[in-house]
Amino acid sequence: MQPDNGAPARRSGQARAGFRLYPDHLVINVKYAMARYEQVFQELGFTLTPRSVHSLGSVNRLAVFAEGYLELIGLPPEAANPRKDVLESYTGIDGLVFSMGDSDTLQARLSEQGFAFQAVQRFSRPVEIDGVQQLAEFETVRLTPGQFREGRVYFCRHLTPQLVWREEWMRHPNTARALGGISTAASDPETTAKRYAALGESTLPVSVYTVREAAERFGVSSLPPDRFVAVTVRCDDPGIAAGLVKQSGRAYTLRDDVLLVPLEELDAVLEFTG
């Protein structure tokens, strides 16, 4: 794909015909610093769900949109046996998660394309609704680590979606309303783009740049190779989001209704677009 208006190229491979991928959520791994980053994201204008603990041992908070959500995931400091995949994953943007229907059908399609995957995993976390504690339950099929160098790629089915998508959690002061995309900085962008395309045709843009292109695209001096480096969030008014970022004291760039907020300590950038 050629650059638009002088912007760096965004590569995409030839997606598998008829295999549509729909986004479920994107994950930012904050390890043992949940308290710090839940404050950061609230200062940036996100409404976060109450902190919850998975039956797998991780903790999370969500910024929920009408479709999909952004998940902050971390580890409780007191955990004697911390969740291994979270502990060993990158700090920063480390999860691209697609929605899953029937797991048998999904696994058959993944096998046809030569992807290795783990057994279906079922887990839960408590959710308090109107003073009553309930269990939000999930099923996932995770691709075996190493097939995507950028981070964890997996599929999720919500068994209790009514405990995740609640109106009070979908109103954000920064006017955020939807996930807009995820971007990678790749040492071999052509191969990386083909690998994502082999999964299927994603309705959420997965943009593949070289490291230099990504740094130029997102207005930072450097980014690590072979990592997810940016999350794009669609909002009603990037100017309102910029005002909240300014109040937080964080650096940002706002031009042509595109707000870029570097999170240097996470080797990541948040992009807000209209």
Task: Give 65-97 pLDDT, tens digit per residue.
Answer: 999 999 999 999 887 788 999 999 999 999 999
Q: Find out whether 51 and 59 touch, Cβ atoms under 8 Å.
A: yes
pTM above 0.75, yes or no: yes
CA distance 162 to 160: 5
Task: Give 152-203 pLDDT, tens digit per residue.
Answer: 999 999 999 999 999 999 999 999 999 999 999 999 999 999 999 999 999 9
Task: Give 120-145 pLDDT, tens digit per residue.
Answer: 999 999 999 999 999 999 999 999 99
CA distance 268 to 91: 10
What are the b/e assignments for 159-171, b being 16+ CB within 10 Å?
Answer: eeeebbbeeebee
Mean pLDDT across 92-105: 96
Handedness of CA 185, 190, 142, 226 (dihedral sign): negative
Q: Find out whether 73 and 60 touch, Cβ atoms under 8 Å.
A: yes
Mean pLDDT across 193-219: 96
Residue 224, pLDDT above cutoff 50:
yes
Radius of gyration over every alpha carbon of the chain, rounded to an integer in angstroms? 18
- Domains of the chain in start order, with CATH, are 20-169 (3.10.180.10), 176-273 (3.10.180.10)
Q: What percent of the chain has pLDDT over 90?
A: 90
Tell me the C-alpha to C-alpha distance, in Å, between residue 210 and each of 152, 185, 186, 223.
20, 5, 5, 10
Round the average pLDDT of the chain to a whole number and report it.
93
What integer pLDDT is reported at residue 79 of this predicted model? 79
Q: Find out whether 123 and 141 touch, Cβ atoms under 8 Å.
A: no
What integer pLDDT is reported at residue 84 of this predicted model? 92
Mean pLDDT across 110-124: 96
